Amino acid sequence: MRTSEKTTTYRAAVVGGSGFTGAELAELLVRHPSLELVAVSSDTQAGSPVAESLPRVRTGLDFCRHDEVADVDAAFLCLPDKAAAPIAKRLLDEGTAVVDLSPDFRLGIDDYREWYGEHPHPEMLPGVYGLTELHRDEVAAARLVANPGCYPTAALLALTPLLALDVQDVVIDSKSGVSGAGKTPNARTHFCSVDSDVTAYATAGHRHYPEIVAGLTRGGGHPDITFVPQVVPLQRGIQETIYVRTAERPAADDLRALYAEAYDGEPFVDVCDAPPSLRDVARTNRCRIFPTVDERTGRVLVVVVIDNLLKGASGQALQNMNVMLGLPEQEGLC
C-alpha cells in the first residue's frame, strides 16, 4: 500500500512479543493502515531491537518492559494465563481497548478454577468471547475481548450452524501444527520428535475442552463431546474432522444450505464443496468449512481448516480490534 496514504488513527501495543502470536501481531500491525505499532514488550528482551529477533517486523522499536506499555489506544496481550489479567485491568483503567489472547477471560469462574486455578481478578469475569462471526455485536460494544483459543475457533465455527439441528454427540479429531505448542523448546517440539510423525496428546483432557463446551452452550447446544488434539508435522494450521450425531439425519443439500446461510456475507469464512486444505488458509485470517453427510451412517461430517496463528490467534485478535474501534473488519487482514 502507499505509505503516503496511511491515515493512522490509533496507537497500538503488543504486550508479550517473545512468542509466536506476539510476533505475528506485530507483523500485522506494521502493515495496518489505521493502527500504528508504538510498543512491543518483552520482559526478557527489553532494550534490544525488535527487528533483530523478529526480522519480519519492520520497525525501529526496541522491546520495552510490560509495565512500560502505556498511553496506547489499543493493546493486544500475548501472555500466559494469570499474567494477562492484571495487565488487562491496568490498561482498561487507562482507557485502552484490550484484546487478550490468553485464556484469562474465556471461561466462567468455575471452569477457570478447574482448568487453570485461581483467577487473579474474578470480578472481571465473564469476559466477552471474541469469536467475531458469532459475537460481533458484543465485541463492538466491548472494551475488553477474550480472544478464543485456536482449537475452539475452528470447532465452534464448524459446529455452531449445526445447533439448528438437535446435536447429540460430537467427536472432534483435531490436528495442529507445532506452533500451537509455543516457542519454548522442549522434547515435544524437537524437530526429531515431530517430523514424520502424528501424535495424539492430552487424551485425559485438554484446556480447550471447556472452552468448546462453553461455546456450544452459549449457542444453545448441550452435546456429549469428545475432543482429541494431535500434533502433525507442519508449522501452522489446524484441521479438524468433526463427527456429529444429530437427532434427525439431514439431507446433504439442506446441510450445505444451512452452512451457506449461516456464513453468507462473512468475509473470512468459506463454505466448501470438498475437504479443504491448509494451503488455502495459510497466512490468512480465513476459515474454510466442508460439511457433508456420511451416507452409510447418517452422521454429519464437518472438516474445517484455519491458520492457528491467524484466525486461531493474532488475526482474529486484529479482527476483533477492528470491530471494537469501528474500523473496517478486514482492514490489515487477508
Residue 180-219 contact track with its own copies, rule CB under 8 A, x = bound: ---x-xxx-xxxxxxxxxxxxx-xxx---x----------
Coil/strand/helix, residue 221: coil
Q: Distances in Å between the alpha carbon of 78 and those of 90, 276, 292?
A: 15, 29, 36
Counting contacts by CB under 8 A, is residue 56 touching its own copies? Answer: yes
Of the candidates 64, 78, 150, 272, the residue annotated as catalytic is 150
Which DSSP symbol is given to 313? I
Site for its own copies in 308-327 (CB under 8 A): 327
Q: What does the alpha-carbon distance between residue 246 and residue 318 come to, in Å, rounded to a whole number?
A: 35
Among 101, 78, 73, 77, smallest CA distance to 88 is for 77
Contact by Cβ (8 Å): 286, 308: no
Which DSSP symbol is given to 14? E
Of 142, 159, 225, 317, which lies in the binding site for its own copies, with binding defined by CB under 8 A? 225
Contact by Cβ (8 Å): 39, 64: yes
By beta-carbon proximity to its own copies, the closer residue of 320 and 322 is 322
By beta-carbon proximity to its own copies, the closer residue of 108 and 205 is 205
Counting contacts by CB under 8 A, is residue 230 touching its own copies? Answer: yes
Site for its own copies in 61-100 (CB under 8 A): none
Contacts of 2 (CB under 8 A, 6+ apart): none
Counting contacts by CB under 8 A, is residue 303 touching its own copies? Answer: yes
Counting contacts by CB under 8 A, is residue 294 touching its own copies? Answer: yes
Which DSSP symbol is given to 207? T
Q: What does the alpha-carbon distance between residue 31 and residue 171 come to, in Å, rounded to a whole number?
A: 39
The stretch among 73-81, 84-92, 150-158, 288-296 that binds its own copies (CB under 8 A) is 288-296
Coil/strand/helix, residue 322: helix
Query: In the numeric block, which cell numbers belong to residue 123?
Result: 470480578
By beta-carbon proximity to its own copies, the closer residue of 143 and 190 is 190
C-alpha dihedral, 66 to 71 to 74 to 78, nearest 10°: 0
**Smallest distance, its own copies to C-beta of residue 152, A:** 16
Counting contacts by CB under 8 A, is residue 59 touching its own copies? Answer: no
By beta-carbon proximity to its own copies, the closer residue of 187 and 247 is 187
Site for its own copies in 133-172 (CB under 8 A): 171
Counting contacts by CB under 8 A, is residue 53 touching its own copies? Answer: no
Counting contacts by CB under 8 A, is residue 34 touching its own copies? Answer: yes
Angle made by CA atoms 182, 74, 326, in degrees to the nearest 5: 115
**Smallest distance, its own copies to C-beta of residue 113, A:** 17
Query: In the numeric block, which cell numbers belong to residue 327?
Result: 474500523
By beta-carbon proximity to its own copies, the closer residue of 4 and 93 is 4
**Smallest distance, its own copies to C-beta of residue 64, A:** 22
Counting contacts by CB under 8 A, is residue 232 touching its own copies? Answer: yes
Q: What does the alpha-carbon distance between residue 21 and residue 19 come to, in Å, rounded to a whole number?
A: 6
Counting contacts by CB under 8 A, is residue 173 touching its own copies? Answer: yes
Site for its own copies in 4-33 (CB under 8 A): 4-5, 7, 20, 31, 33
**Smallest distance, its own copies to C-beta of residue 281, A:** 8
Q: Is 272 a catalytic residue?
A: no
**Smallest distance, its own copies to C-beta of residue 199, A:** 5
Counting contacts by CB under 8 A, is residue 228 touching its own copies? Answer: yes
Counting contacts by CB under 8 A, is residue 247 touching its own copies? Answer: no
Q: What does the alpha-carbon distance between residue 132 and residue 142 come to, in Å, rounded to a whole number?
A: 12
Contacts of 183 (CB under 8 A, 6+ apart): 18, 19, 20
Counting contacts by CB under 8 A, is residue 44 touching its own copies? Answer: no
The catalytic site residues sit at 150
